[in-house]
């Protein structure tokens, strides 16, 4: 974990360079919290749905688990993954490790909101966690009625405490902070509440001094996980492999460059390719022992393409801590060592 002035605020990163397939083991899923991990008795935990609803309801965890559930594979990514200052992180874990992919099991939030009778003038919801900082995020009602889950399971088992046990939101494709953990309250409201964690944080400072707000979607992004920083390569056959994902939809194409972005080759995409999920890509390659620079870039089914660092900086500047999806490069030296380029 990185050093912090506030020991109660911490994070851990997924070792993407050691992954295979697309699923992240629950024990290796990245974790981010702002005020420690609460110890919650599931028998005493309650979820309140209130506000602009006809029938305010309090659900127990048992009530939630009795309702029709579904399982979906989605990635979660912290919007601070690959912060601009750490773009040159020495390993895939350090530069991109605040992203993971799991099978989530739970109840569609739309079922709970419909049961409460959401009123037409409710345009947003406010979700609140039971952690010490009472994490709160505003979300549009359209997303709430679409694909958000109130999850109680992850990868075939109960949520772990660090992942929000006993209940959390899973908001597919959107920045991880809105997938509120230790979920205890959802209020239907007529406007966003401009809480601390959607104003003082999780905004994008632009070159003109203005800040973008509610930039929820995580754009198309990829990273080569092998060979990558901290590893070494021997001359001869080498399979280049990595992960791509997009909060806008399904990955349709991944290209790899072995000459620093001068030319590009299509990589093979491993099935299954799912909406808002990790996609594994592969390219057979023969290294001749000379110094090279590897890059990957991806595109999704909406036409969104991962930008170069220069193209992203030209639009966004360099003062943001969030939503960096620029191409990541690795250098293979003549001695086979792989470092950040």
Summarised one tens digit per residue, pLDDT across range 73-117 is: 999 999 999 877 656 789 999 999 999 999 999 999 999 999 999
Q: How far apart are the C-alpha atoms of 323 and 27, rounded to whole Å?
A: 25
pLDDT of residue 89: 83
Measured in degrees and rounded to the nearest 5, phi and psi for residue 311 equal: -65, -40
Q: What is the DSSP string of 220-272?
A: PEEEEEES-TT-B--SEEEEEEEEEE-TTS-EEEEEEESBTTSS-EEPEEPSP
DSSP, collapsed to helix, strand or coil, labels residue 32 as strand
Strand pairing category for 157-158 and 183-189: unpaired
Q: Is the pLDDT of residue 3 over 80?
A: no
Q: Which residues pair with 232 in a beta bridge?
A: 337
In 3D space, the residue among 13, 8, 339, 7 whose CA is nearest the CA of residue 176 turns out to be 13
Sorted by where each starts, the structural domains of the chain and their CATH numbers stand as: 25-202 (3.90.420.10), 221-340 (2.60.40.650)
The answer to whether 295 and 257 have CB atoms below 8 angstroms apart is yes
The predicted structure's pLDDT at residue 5 = 53
Tell me the pLDDT tens digit for each residue of 205-237: 999 999 999 999 999 999 999 999 999 999 999
Q: How many CB atoms are closer than 10 A to CB 127?
A: 25
- 1 band by pLDDT with thresholds 50, 70 and 90: very low
How confident is residue 8, by pLDDT bands cut at 50, 70 and 90? low
Instruction: Please say whether the dihedral angle defined by the alpha carbons of residues 188, 192, 198 and 202, taken in this order, is positive or negative.
Output: positive
pLDDT (tens digit per residue) in 30-82: 999 989 999 999 999 999 999 999 999 999 999 999 999 999 999 999 999 98
Query: Could you say which DSSP state residue 12 is in?
Result: E
The closest of 183, 186, 147, 168 to 277, measured between CA atoms, is 147
d(CA 126, CA 2): 30
Chain position carrying tokens 């969030």: 322
List the one residue out of 114, 112, 185 whose CA is nearest residue 149: 112
Average pLDDT value for the chain: 95
CA distances from 339 to 85, 90, 96, 262, 336 (A): 17, 6, 14, 19, 10
Cβ–Cβ < 8 Å for 127, 136: yes
What's the confidence (pLDDT) of residue 87? 65
Name the phi and psi angles at 176, rounded to 5. -60, -30
pTM score of the predicted model: 0.95
**In whole angstroms, what is the distance from residue 143 CA to residue 124 CA?**
9
């Amino acid at each position: 974990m990185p050093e912090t002035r506030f020991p109660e605020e911490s994070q851990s990163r997924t070792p993407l360079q050691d992954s295979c397939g697309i699923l992240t083991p629950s024990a290796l899923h990245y974790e981010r919290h702002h005020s420690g991990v609460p110890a919650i008795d599931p028998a005493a935990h309650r979820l309140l749905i209130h506000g602009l609803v006809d029938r305010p309801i309090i659900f127990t965890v048992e009530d939630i688990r009795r309702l029709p559930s579904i399982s979906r594979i989605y990635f979660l990514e912290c919007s601070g993954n690959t912060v601009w200052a750490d773009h040159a992180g020495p390993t895939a874990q350090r530069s991109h490790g605040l992203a993971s992919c799991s099978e989530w099991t739970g109840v569609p939030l739309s079922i709970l909101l419909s049961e409460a009778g959401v009123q037409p003038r409710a345009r947003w919801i406010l979700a609140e966690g039971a952690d010490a900082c009472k994490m709160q995020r505003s979300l549009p009602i359209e997303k709430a009625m679409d694909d958000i889950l109130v999850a109680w399971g992850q990868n075939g088992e109960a949520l772990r405490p660090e992942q929000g046990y006993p209940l959390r939101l899973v908001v597919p494709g959107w920045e991880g902070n809105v997938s509120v953990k230790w979920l205890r309250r959802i209020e239907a409201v007529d406007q966003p509440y401009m809480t601390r964690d959607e104003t003082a944080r999780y905004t994008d400072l632009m070159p003109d001094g203005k800040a973008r707000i509610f930039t929820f979607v995580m754009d198309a992004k990829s990273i080569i996980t092998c060979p990558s920083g901290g590893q070494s390569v021997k001359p001869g056959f080498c399979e280049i492999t990595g992960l791509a994902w997009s909060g806008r939809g399904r990955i349709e194409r991944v290209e790899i460059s072995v000459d620093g972005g001068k030319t590009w080759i299509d990589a093979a995409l491993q099935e299954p390719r799912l909406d808002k999920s990790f996609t594994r890509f592969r390219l057979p390659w023969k290294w001749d022992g000379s110094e090279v620079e590897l890059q990957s870039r991806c595109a999704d089914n909406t036409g969104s393409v991962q930008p170069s660092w220069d193209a992203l900086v030209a639009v966004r500047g360099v003062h943001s801590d969030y939503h960096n999806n620029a191409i990541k490069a690795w250098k293979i030296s003549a001695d086979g060592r792989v470092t950040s380029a």
